[in-house]
Amino acid sequence: MEELKEEDVLKALSKVMEPDMGKDIVSLGLVSNLTINENSISFTVSTKNAAMHSRKRMEEACQFAIERAVGANYNVNIEVKGLKKSESAQKVLPNIKNIIAVVSGKGGVGKSTIASNIAVGLGKKGYKVGVVDADIYGPSVPIMFDCQHYKPMSKLVDNKQFIVPAENYGVKLLSIGFFAELDQAVVWRGPMAAKALHQLFFDAYWQELDYLIIDTPPGTGDVHLSIVQSLPLTGVVVVTTPQNVAVADAKKAVSMFKMDNINVPVLGIVENMSWFSPAELPDNKYFLFGDNGGKNLSDSLGIPLLGQIPLIQSVRESGDAGRPAVMQHETPVQKYYLDLCDQLIKKVNWRNDELNETKVVEVEYGQPKCSS
């Protein structure tokens, strides 16, 4: 009998799907402790659903896959165990390298504009990018990407239905706005919002992505907590204007993610609407909302200032037209956004090299708690 190798067993097990995750157990990294002896094969498989019947089905599927590939000459010992919630969340999006939440302490600071232009800017630099519009109650991404009439379709992949994201300007995107009528208000309590978000993240056909950008609601609340409970974020980008009121709320947003029991890296601060420059006087700067508020916040907290973006009429016009301003060819506005993307890329690379992977937050007795 020809010697059986580890890669032979893994090849056989790659035909076994994790039904709730929609991918095979090998590519998801769910097979461990594999040993091969003269007459036996032993290994452990983790599965998202820890119920006894689910574990039994997984065991039978693995047994069948091995017997089909290498015959019934081996005694196969399989331990099937349930994934912890934190492990499940981190394994379920294995094809997405970096997940970045764009947040703000208050509304009206241009967070969605910044998120959209970051996404398109990263795409222009050759990265594969997706966007989730997690602003459940005020989704803006469909308008900013000129796809507000998109109706999501489903795609059957490995016996599981996935939502197919819209795609424009080289960016894949999903928004709760795609599932509601254009003029329909979304009036949901926290659990409903959390369930909808879960589908946008985990039931979407994202494929391979370098960056998933999440446009969050303003403030710090249920949606933000649901995100850190569900995803191991690479980090957050905090958007503010120079105005004292916006800066004070941005500081609160920073403090949420720096809490010991959440502990998500704050990659940097973006100061939006830093100054106003009229089209007829492009070199003039009028500090309508104050001067350097975001920069001062950055200095005081020791967090990088990723960029200062001016208030320019063409930025607003581009957003309303569904064509992010970073697509304006060889203009000062485009340079501001591309420079912002460069700074973000540098910070993400540093974070991935120097810091530990972010833990998914678990909630116990109503309090957020990092998983071990």
Mean of all residue pLDDT scores within the chain: 88
Give the start-to-end residue ranges of the domains of the chain.
6-83, 90-370
Tokens standing for residue 108: 């009206």
22 versus 245: the higher-pLDDT residue is 245
Q: What percent of the chain has pLDDT over 90?
A: 59
Query: What kind of fold does domain 6-83 have according to CATH?
Result: GMP Synthetase; Chain A, domain 3 (3.30.300)
Residues 6+ apart with CB under 8 A from 366: none
Confidence (pLDDT) at 20: 76
pLDDT digits (tens, 9 = 90+) for 139-172: 899 999 999 899 989 998 877 789 999 999 999 9
SS3 assignment, position 326: helix
Q: What stretch of H or E contains 244? A: helix 244-257
Q: Contact 307/347 with Cβ under 8 angstroms? A: no
pLDDT digits (tens, 9 = 90+) for 75-112: 999 999 987 654 554 555 888 999 999 999 999 999 99
Class of domain 90-370: alpha beta
CA dist., res. 85 & res. 362, Å (int): 8
201 versus 137: the higher-pLDDT residue is 201
pLDDT digits (tens, 9 = 90+) for 356-372: 888 777 644 345 555 44
CA dist., res. 338 & res. 209, Å (int): 19
